[in-house]
């Protein structure tokens, strides 16, 4: 009897131990009590910073183990500094995630020497909004349309030669004869907009429309800026009279070029982790991201701040990035030639 009882007790203990093993969650164990660093590839106060901090405030409760998420701004070269950091320096165990300029995959194709990493290999978690970039001018410039920009020089602030703030105006110069003059050296989109208010520059070539409405709503309400063009796959509901870049195409070749330029619209405010993230942790982060996008408390803040959320899954963003980074070299070469011609023409006039 004694042996039988011991055998039963031993069997129960083994079953309980096995059940405990089955219930163990290695992802939860990894994140419990941990601090996750959220790298933002822009300075404070802009759209990327606004969306990053909002996500960081809520995603932790949806990640198994409920880690603390801390934001760290890392501006530089239109997000390149942060992208290189995530790829080359940051831990690849899931303890570091980030958000940087959605045009980075395009820039990889334009400037492989600068973007030394393959964005297609990043561990994409999701994107917070199917965003549209807009080209804007200050209300006092008298430049309200692209036709107006063909009649007078329009000074546009930019961070680097390869970001949208440079690319969009220069392509317009090349294909349509506008007179945008790009001035480089600004450290972030926020500083360009402050320069617009000071009259230092006339406009900005690429700002996410939803981010502008979130971070600078008074500009919209007081009609401080003119919107000349949208760069995206579909028009913003409140910008139905403003042409899409793709609408301007006159030939199939132009259509292909403008389509590539516009293809990052599905990954507005993208969230990613370094390449090589363990599959189970990436799956957990992707699930946590989508759950955050449906979180009632999160959505309440979104509504209060008049932000826009139209999320894309990590799998969707992954496909978009892979498509962009596999664009035929001849299309990229034609875009680069158009940009080089536009820059050379601008330098000749200056």
**Per-residue CA distances from 181 to 155, 162, 198, 205, 270 (Å):** 5, 15, 17, 11, 29
Concatenate the DSSP letters of all residues of 128-188 into one string. Answer: EE---EEEEEEGGG---STTGGGTS-EEEE-S-SSSHHHHHHHHHHHHH---EEEE---SS
Query: Looking at the structure, do residues 311 and 252 belong to the same domain, yes or no?
Result: no
**Which one-letter DSSP state was computed for residue 117?**
S
- Please report whether residue 4 resides in a domain: no
Q: Are residues 68 and 159 in the same domain?
A: no
CB count in 10 Å sphere of residue 268:
28
Of residues 315 and 103, more confidently modeled: 315
Q: How many separate domains does the chain show?
A: 2
Are 61 and 203 contained in the same domain?
no
Cβ atoms of 315 and 287 closer than 8 Å: no
DSSP state for residue 247 in the 8-state scheme: G
Contact between residue 209 and residue 134 where contact means Cβ atoms under 8 Å apart: yes
Q: Rounded to 5 degrees, what are φ and ψ at 98?
A: -170, 175
Domain of 344, CATH number, reads 3.40.190.10
Clarify whether residues 229 and 272 are in a common domain.
Answer: no
* pLDDT tens-place string over residues 211-259: 898 889 999 999 999 999 999 888 999 999 999 999 999 998 899 889 8
Are residue 64 and residue 189 in the same domain, yes or no?
Answer: no
pLDDT in tens, 269-308: 999 999 999 999 999 999 999 999 999 999 999 999 888 8
Establish if 239 belongs to a structural domain.
yes
Q: Which residue has the tokens 């200050």?
A: 138
**Domain of 158, in residue numbers:** 133-264+331-349
Identify whether 9 is part of a domain. Answer: no
Same domain? For 258 and 275 the reply is no
């Amino acid at each position: 009897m004694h042996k039988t009882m011991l055998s039963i007790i031993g069997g129960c203990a083994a079953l309980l131990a096995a059940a405990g093993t089955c219930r163990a969650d290695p992802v939860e164990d990894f994140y419990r009590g941990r601090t996750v660093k959220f790298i933002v590839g822009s300075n404070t106060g802009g759209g990327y910073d606004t969306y990053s901090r909002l996500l960081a405030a809520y995603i932790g409760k949806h990640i198994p183990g409920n880690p603390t998420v801390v934001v760290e701004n890392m501006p530089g070269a239109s997000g390149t500094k942060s992208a290189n950091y995530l790829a080359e320096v940051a831990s690849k165990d899931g303890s570091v995630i980030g958000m940087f300029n959605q045009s980075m995959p395009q820039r990889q194709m334009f400037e492989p020497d600068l973007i030394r990493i393959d964005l297609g290999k990043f561990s994409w978690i999701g994107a917070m909004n199917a965003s549209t970039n807009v080209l804007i001018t200050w209300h006092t410039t008298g430049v309200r349309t692209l036709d107006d920009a063909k009649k007078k020089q329009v000074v546009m602030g930019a961070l680097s030669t390869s970001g949208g703030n440079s690319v969009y105006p220069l392509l317009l110069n090349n294909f349509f004869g506008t007179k945008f003059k790009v001035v480089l050296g600004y450290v972030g989109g926020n500083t360009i907009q402050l320069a617009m208010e000071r009259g230092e520059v006339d406009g900005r070539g690429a700002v996410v429309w939803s981010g502008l409405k979130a971070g600078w709503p008074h500009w919209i309400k007081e009609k401080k800026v003119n919107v000349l063009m949208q760069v995206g796959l579909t028009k913003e509901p409140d910008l139905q009279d403003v042409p899409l870049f793709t609408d301007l195409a006159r030939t199939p070749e132009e259509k292909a070029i403008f389509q590539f330029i516009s293809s990052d619209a599905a990954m507005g405010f993208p969230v990613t982790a370094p390449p090589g993230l363990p599959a189970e942790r990436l799956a957990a982060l992707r699930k946590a991201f989508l759950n955050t996008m449906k979180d009632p408390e999160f959505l309440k803040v979104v509504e209060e701040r008049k932000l826009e959320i139209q999320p894309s899954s990590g799998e969707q963003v992954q496909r978009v990035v892979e498509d962009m980074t596999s664009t035929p070299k001849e299309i990229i070469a034609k875009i680069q030639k158009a940009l080089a011609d536009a820059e050379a023409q601008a330098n000749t006039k200056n």
